[in-house]
C-alpha cells in the first residue's frame, strides 16, 4: 500500500460506512470506529478544559485480509457525554513509522500538545520480528492548536535501547515529575522477561536510561502499555503483562491488564511488587490513565484482547470492530485498586424502572444499566440476550460469565473468586457488557453478540432497577473526510 494514498482510501471507506444501515450491535455510549478496527486508547490529556482521547485505529482492516497500517484517531470532550470527532491526528507518513503509528501518550507543555508514540517498521524477510526485522522507534509529534500535528521528531531507535532487550520496546508513556520528564517504555528482554524501562529528560527531546523496573521473579515475557498513577498516594505501575501462566480464577486471558504496587522512586530503585488484575472478563486491555480537573484518576481501556483465540468479532463483516470500554474512576481502598464507572455517565440515565426481583425480572433493552442489590447470601443468575450467562454461587463464592452458548462468538467461560455479592451494576450497550461488582471491587468486561435483546434474572431477594441509557452526542469535525 502506498501510504501517500492512505488518507484518500480512508475517506472513501468512511463515506461508505456512513451510508450503511443502522447496526444494533454498534454501541451508543461507547466510542467506536467509523470503519475498520479500533485499538488502544492513547495520548490522554487535558488542555484548557478539553479532554483529548486518541486511539489506534486501522480504518481499512475490515475490508482486506492484508496488513494495513494504523493511524491515530482523535476525539475531544468537555464532559464525557458530548464529543467532537476530530480529524485524524497521526498517519504513517515517514520512514520511521511507515508500518503504523503505534501506542503512546500525550502531554501538554508550554502551550503545545505533544504526542509520544511508537513508529513501527517491519522489514521484509525471514525474521522472527522479536530479535530482528522490526524497528520500534520513539517519535514525538507537536501541535499548537491540539488538532493538527505537523512536526514529527525522531527521539530514539532500537540502537538507543539496551543490548539486553529485544526489538520489542514500545508504548512510551511520558509524565512530568519533579521538574523533568520521565518516559516509561514496555520491554521484552533477551531472556524473555517483561520489564519497564525508565528514561529521563530535561527538554522532552533527549532522553537517557535511568532505571529498569522489574519483579523479583519473572512475570510474563513482555510488559505493554506501562503507565504510572498514585491513587490515594499509593504508587502503581499500570501495564499489560504478556505470557503470565493461567490459573483457575486468575490470568485466564491470553494477556493480562492490571497494576503492580511500586516501592521506591520511579526513576531510581523502584521495584514492582504485588500485581492486581483490573478485569476478569474476556475483553479489557491496553489501559491508560488520565487525571481529571478535580483530581480523579480515570482509566481508559480497549474492549478487546490481543491474540485472543476467538479471532474477529461478527461486526467485522459489517465493516467495523472493537470499541473503547467505559471510563473508570480509579481509587485505592483496603489495600487494593477499586474501579467505579465514570460518574458523568449518570447524565445518560433515563427514568428508573424498578422491578420485583422476588418474581424474577425481564428487561428487553440492548442499551441500559441494571442496578441489582441482592440480600446477603443470595445466589444470582442472569441470562444475557438469551444464551449468555452471568451467575453467582454464594456457597462456592464463584462468579461465572459463560458466553459459550453462541453470543460470545468464540468466547467461552471466565470465572473469578468473589467472597460475597453485595452490588452488581451491569452496563449493556449494543454488543458490550460491563459488570461492576461490590462497588467497584472487581469488574468483568466483554463483547457479546446476542440476537435477542432479552435479559432475565432468576428470582432473588433484594432490589432491582433498570435505567434506559441514552447515547453520546458526537459532532463530526473531520477535515477532508478523515
Q: pLDDT tens for residues 341-365?
A: 999 999 999 999 999 999 999 999 9
Average confidence (pLDDT) over 410-437: 98
Beta strands per DSSP E along 243-324: 258-265, 268-277, 285-291, 297-303, 320-321, 323-324
Residue 292: Cβ-neighbour burial (10 angstroms; 0-12, 13-18, 19+): middle
Do 241 and 222 meet the contact criterion of CB atoms below 8 Å apart? yes
Is 49 contained in some domain?
yes
Residue 32 CA to residue 25 CA, distance in Å, equals: 11
Residue 359 CA to residue 365 CA, distance in Å, equals: 19
Q: Are residues 391 and 272 in the same domain?
A: no
Report pLDDT digits (tens) over 94-137.
999 999 999 999 999 999 999 999 999 999 999 999 999 999 99
Residue among 262, 268, 272 nearest 241 (CA): 272
What value does the mean pLDDT of the chain take? 96
Q: Are residues 172 and 215 in the same domain?
A: yes
Residue 431 CA to residue 429 CA, distance in Å, equals: 6
Q: Are residues 382 and 269 in the same domain?
A: no
Q: Are residues 241 and 191 in the same domain?
A: yes
Is 102 contained in some domain?
yes
Out of 40, 42, 227, 279, pick the active-site residue: 40
Strands 134-143 and 112-122: antiparallel
Q: Are residues 104 and 252 in the same domain?
A: yes
Question: Sorting pLDDT into bands at 50, 70 and 90, what band is 180?
Answer: very high
> For the chain, what percentages of helix, strand and coil (3-state, to nearest 5) are there?
10, 50, 40
Domain count, the chain: 2
Given this model, what pLDDT does residue 311 score? 66
Let me know if 40 is a catalytic residue: yes
Average confidence (pLDDT) over 189-211: 98
Residue among 309, 339, 324 nearest 413 (CA): 309
Question: Sorting pLDDT into bands at 50, 70 and 90, what band is 376?
Answer: very high
Q: Which residues contact 224 (CB under 8 A, 6 or more apart)?
A: 103, 170, 171, 186, 239, 240, 241, 242, 255, 286, 306
Given this model, what pLDDT does residue 1 score? 44
Is 103 contained in some domain?
yes
Q: Are residues 203 and 298 in the same domain?
A: yes
Q: Are residues 38 and 53 in the same domain?
A: yes
Is 250 contained in some domain?
yes
Residue 91 CA to residue 69 CA, distance in Å, equals: 9
Asked which of 311, 342, 373 is the last residue of a domain, the reply is 342
Do 62 and 36 meet the contact criterion of CB atoms below 8 Å apart? yes
- Classify each residue of 127-150 as buried b or exposed e, where b means 16 or more C-beta atoms within 10 Å of its C-beta: eeeeeeebbbbbbbbbbeebbebe
- Residue 126: domain span: 32-342
Q: Kindly tell me if the per-residue pLDDT of 286 is higher than 80.
A: yes
Residue 68 backbone phi and psi in degrees, to 5: -120, 140
Q: Are residues 379 and 407 in the same domain?
A: yes
Residue 213 CA to residue 260 CA, distance in Å, equals: 10
Asked which of 283, 313, 342 is the last residue of a domain, the reply is 342
Q: Kindly tell me if the per-residue pLDDT of 2 is higher than 60.
A: no
Q: Are residues 310 and 367 in the same domain?
A: no
Given this model, what pLDDT does residue 453 score? 94
Report pLDDT digits (tens) over 297-352.
999 999 999 888 786 799 999 999 999 999 999 999 999 999 999 999 999 999 99
Residue 301 CA to residue 419 CA, distance in Å, equals: 26
Given this model, what pLDDT does residue 272 score? 98
Strands 320-321 and 36-47: parallel
Asked which of 292, 324, 342 is the last residue of a domain, the reply is 342
Question: Sorting pLDDT into bands at 50, 70 and 90, what band is 21?
Answer: confident
Is 3 contained in some domain?
no
Question: Sorting pLDDT into bands at 50, 70 and 90, what band is 4?
Answer: low
Is 51 contained in some domain?
yes
Q: Which residues contact 312 (CB under 8 A, 6 or more apart)?
A: 321
Q: Are residues 409 and 332 in the same domain?
A: no
CATH number for the domain including 124?
A: 2.115.10.20
Is 62 contained in some domain?
yes
Q: Are residues 275 and 374 in the same domain?
A: no
Is 26 contained in some domain?
no
Rounded to whole angstroms, the maximal C-alpha distance in the chain is: 66
Do 65 and 37 meet the contact criterion of CB atoms below 8 Å apart? no
Residue 8 CA to residue 22 CA, distance in Å, equals: 24
Extract the C-alpha cell encoding 285: 486491555
Q: Which residues contact 335 (CB under 8 A, 6 or more apart)?
A: none
CATH number for the domain including 431?
A: 2.60.120.560
Q: Are residues 312 and 377 in the same domain?
A: no
Strands 82-85 and 473-476: parallel
Amino acid at each position: 500500500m502506498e501510504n501517500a494514498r492512505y488518507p484518500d482510501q480512508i475517506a472513501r471507506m468512511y463515506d461508505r460506512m456512513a451510508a450503511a444501515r443502522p447496526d444494533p450491535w454498534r454501541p451508543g455510549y461507547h466510542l467506536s470506529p467509523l470503519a475498520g478496527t479500533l485499538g488502544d486508547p492513547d495520548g490522554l490529556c487535558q488542555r484548557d478544559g478539553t479532554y483529548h482521547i486518541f486511539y489506534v485505529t486501522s480504518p481499512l482492516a475490515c475490508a482486506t485480509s492484508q496488513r494495513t497500517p494504523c493511524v491515530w484517531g482523535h476525539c475531544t470532550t468537555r464532559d464525557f457525554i458530548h464529543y467532537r470527532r476530530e480529524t485524524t491526528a497521526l498517519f504513517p507518513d515517514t520512514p520511521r513509522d511507515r508500518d503504523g503509528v503505534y501506542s503512546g501518550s500525550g502531554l501538554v507543555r508550554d502551550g503545545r500538545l505533544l504526542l509520544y508514540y511508537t513508529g513501527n517498521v517491519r522489514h521484509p524477510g525471514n525474521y522472527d520480528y522479536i530479535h530482528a526485522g522490526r524497528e520500534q522507534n520513539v517519535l514525538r509529534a507537536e501541535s499548537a492548536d491540539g488538532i493538527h500535528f505537523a512536526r514529527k521528531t525522531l527521539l530514539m531507535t532500537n540502537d538507543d535501547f539496551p543490548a539486553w532487550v529485544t526489538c520489542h520496546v514500545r508504548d512510551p508513556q511520558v509524565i512530568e515529575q519533579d521538574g523533568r520528564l520521565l518516559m516509561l517504555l514496555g520491554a521484552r528482554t533477551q531472556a524473555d522477561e517483561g520489564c519497564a524501562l525508565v528514561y529521563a529528560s530535561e527538554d522532552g527531546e533527549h532522553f537517557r536510561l535511568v532505571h529498569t523496573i522489574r519483579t523479583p521473579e519473572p512475570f510474563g515475557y513482555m510488559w505493554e502499555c506501562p503507565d504510572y498513577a498514585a491513587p490515594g498516594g499509593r504508587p502503581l505501575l499500570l501495564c499489560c503483562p504478556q505470557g503470565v501462566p493461567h490459573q483457575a480464577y486468575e490470568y485466564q486471558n491470553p494477556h493480562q491488564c492490571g497494576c503492580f504496587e511500586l516501592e521506591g522512586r520511579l526513576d531510581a530503585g523502584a521495584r514492582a511488587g504485588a500485581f492486581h488484575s483490573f478485569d476478569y472478563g474476556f475483553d479489557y486491555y491496553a489501559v491508560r490513565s488520565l487525571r481529571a480537573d478535580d483530581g480523579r484518576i480515570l482509566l481508559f481501556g480497549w474492549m478487546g484482547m490481543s491474540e485472543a483465540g476467538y479471532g474477529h468479532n461478527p461486526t467485522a463483516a459489517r465493516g467495523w470492530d472493537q470499541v473503547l470500554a467505559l471510563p473508570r474512576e480509579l481509587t485505592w481502598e483496603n489495600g487494593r485498586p477499586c474501579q467505579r464507572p465514570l460518574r458523568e455517565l449518570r447524565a445518560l440515565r433515563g427514568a428508573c424502572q424498578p422491578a420485583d426481583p422476588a418474581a424474577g425480572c425481564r428487561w428487553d433493552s440492548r442499551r441500559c444499566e441494571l442496578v441489582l442489590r441482592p440480600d446477603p447470601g443470595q445466589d444470582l443468575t442472569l441470562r444475557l440476550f438469551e444464551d449468555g450467562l452471568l451467575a453467582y454461587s454464594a456457597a462456592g463464592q464463584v462468579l461465572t460469565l459463560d458466553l459459550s452458548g453462541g453470543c460470545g462468538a468464540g468466547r467461552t467461560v471466565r470465572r473469578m473468586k468473589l467472597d460475597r455479592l453485595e452490588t452488581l451494576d451491569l452496563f449493556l450497550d449494543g454488543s458490550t457488557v460491563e459488570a461492576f461488582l461490590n462497588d467497584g471491587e472487581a469488574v468483568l468486561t466483554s463483547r457479546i453478540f446476542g440476537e435477542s435483546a432479552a435479559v432475565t434474572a432468576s428470582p432473588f431477594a433484594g432490589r432491582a432497577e433498570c435505567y434506559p441509557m441514552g447515547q453520546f452526542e458526537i459532532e463530526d469535525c473531520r477535515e477532508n473526510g478523515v
